[in-house]
Structure 1
Amino acid sequence: MARNKAKQDYRPVEPSPWPIIGAAGTFFAVIGAVFWMHGTYNFFGLGLGGNPTIFFTGIALIVYTLMGWRFDFAKEANEPGRHGHRVQLNFRYAVPLLLCAEAMFFSAWIWVYFNAAIFHSGYPDGTWSPQTIINFGPWGLPLFNTLLLLTSCTTIFWARHSIISGDHRGAANGLALTIILGAAFIAIRTFEYVYAPFAFGLIGEQLLSPTDTGDAQGDLGAIYGSTFFMLMGLHTTHIAVGVVFLVGCLRRILAGQYTPQRYFGFEAAAWYWYFGVVIWLVLFACIYVWGAGHGAAAPIEL
């Protein structure tokens, strides 16, 4: 009696080390950030306070995980029958869902920012931003960063058009320029973080006490610093992850693995990148342009 073998559009996922390595990297990055920011904190007498080693170790593990996972994904994509129609359809659903999840995350923090900015009448001076905060002006480095990201949209579109046309050289050049622009954006953001005239939850050099309810102006300043660095830090992280994805796409382009018919890996990276640009335009308008116009002190231009 003949047996009919069930046809599947996908193969079971093989064991992979990347989830546990990525989880370890995330753990070390979060714990390391806490130790680093709380410089006087002494964890079981190990003297880890103020030391960024654990944090950067976690970041290195996360980047290693992203690159390794990307390499395995590309290897699977080149195996005949590995990524069938159903698998590709799942990918096309997964990327928009990921971007929707990120959009909700950014929306929550933007709401926190505007909640403090608009409903601040109960604070002593009734202004936003607080008198203790000096805003960044929008027309210096923030505007330059905006131009960098808008330019990167044209270069990544050039790369996509080149892939569709079968021009691998043009695709590689466009993608390389996009990576350079993204790296420049991250470098400028880092410079801005270092020279910011305010800090995460700090006023000057004084750490705000959660039990000090009398210093309402200080509390408002802490909200400003926290929301600013959370929003900008999350966005910079998004761009950094996008750069890692684009580096993986560049490697595949140079290896000739993308064709005019099969290039969804690049398409997903491009969607991710465009989303980061759109979020930046929202943050630029809300935090820099609108925020600088409502500050109690004159903004500084970097």
Structure 2
Amino acid sequence: MSDTHKKGHDYHLVDPSVWPIAISFSALVLAIGAVYFMHSKSLWLLLIGLALTLYCMFMWFRDVVIEGEHKGDHTPVVQIGLRYGMTLFIISEVMFFVAWFWAYFDSSLFPDAVIGGVWPPKDIKTLDPWHIPLINTLILLLSGTTVTWAHHSLLENDRKGLLNGLLLTVILGLIFTSFQAYEYFVADFKLSSGIYGATFYMATGFHGFHVLVGTIFLAVCYFRAKAGHYKPDHHFGFEAAAWYWHFVDVVWLFLFASIYIWGS
């Protein structure tokens, strides 16, 4: 009788879940709260929406981890689908940053009369690319090597190397974010400082947000690794985080070269 309930294929048919609809409503509350904050400077609805969204994300991701680690639903065939999904997600992120680079180069290569026909605009004092930006570049390049060290350690079943590499990467990500926050604090221009400030802060700010998300992603991987979740032949959760981190590294190299060096 039990044989009739056995799965006769390698695919995972997702169980009914409340989290997709729950996170949709949470995101709606978050968006309404953001608009309400912009008009009234009141934070309460924004914080409620953020808390609901984070809670739903945590519960949904928890269910996915249970599927992969305890139920055995993430077969090799399913993992191929997950890899395609992560690849398409990173491609969409690439196009997201292409939009900001497009806006930046459109304004810098063809500066109009409104900003004086020069780039950067005369009233903008640009940041020194060989100070904090260079330090942050070295930090991110180093973090790319530590996450690769962690990945190779996992493939060799070296748990200590995996944990040390992940921990160092998380620390380097936090240092990068701290330096960028300081850079924003000491900058002489703001988001409202015309097209230069808008394109600079939107491009580098969204990258900083991605670094923060990637740091959280890798921190979760660290705690999952401590719990013994990853195996040399079954670790797509960590692999996806490593892909994301390398994507963040590459985007920063383009930002550093185009906005900080060439743009100054």
Identity %: 40
My pick for the range that moved more, 222-231 or 20-29, is: 20-29
Give, in whole Å, the separation in 2 of the partners of 1:250 and 1:134: 41
Q: Is 1:231 aligned to 2:203, yes or no?
A: yes
In structure 2, the residue corresponding to 1:224 is in which secondary structure?
A: helix
- Aligned residue identity for 1:93: Y
Correspondence for 1:155: 146
- Aligned residue identity for 2:22: I
Shift of 1:129: 1.1
- 1:1-302 matches, within 5 Å, as 7-8=8-9, 9-17=11-19, 20-21=22-23, 24-25=26-27, 27-28=29-30, 31-32=33-34, 38=38, 41=39, 48-49=40-41, 51=42, 55=46, 58-123=49-114, 125-200=116-191, 202-203=192-193, 222-292=194-264
Shift of 1:59: 4.7
My pick for the range that moved more, 175-184 or 185-194, is: 185-194
Q: Is the Cα contact below 8 Å between 1:172 and 1:253 reproduced in 2?
A: yes
- Aligned residue identity for 1:244: I
Give, in whole Å, the separation in 2 of the partners of 1:30 and 1:149: 35
Root mean square deviation of aligned Cα: 2.5
In structure 2, the residue corresponding to 1:265 is in which secondary structure?
A: helix
Give, in whole Å, the separation in 1 of the partners of 2:89 and 2:60: 17
Give, in whole Å, the separation in 1 of the partners of 2:59 and 2:67: 12
- Aligned residue identity for 1:266: F
Correspondence for 1:210: none
Shift of 1:279: 0.2
Query: After the TM superposition, which segments of 4 or more aligned residues of structure 1 sit over 6 Å from their partners?
Result: 3-6
Q: Is the Cα contact below 8 Å between 1:22 and 1:65 reproduced in 2?
A: no
Give, in whole Å, the separation in 2 of the partners of 1:261 and 1:22: 34
Give, in whole Å, the separation in 2 of the partners of 1:234 and 1:26: 21
Give, in whole Å, the separation in 2 of the partners of 1:65 and 1:119: 45
Q: Is the Cα contact below 8 Å between 2:29 and 2:46 reproduced in 1?
A: no
Q: TM-score scaled by structure 2?
A: 0.88
Give, in whole Å, the separation in 1 of the partners of 2:104 and 2:172: 28
Number of equivalenced pairs: 260
- Alpha-carbon displacement from aligned partner over 1:78-134 (angstroms, at most 9, x marks no partner): 134411233111101011101110111101110110000111143463211111222
Change (3 A) 1:29 1:148: farther
Give, in whole Å, the separation in 2 of the partners of 1:259 and 1:124: 56
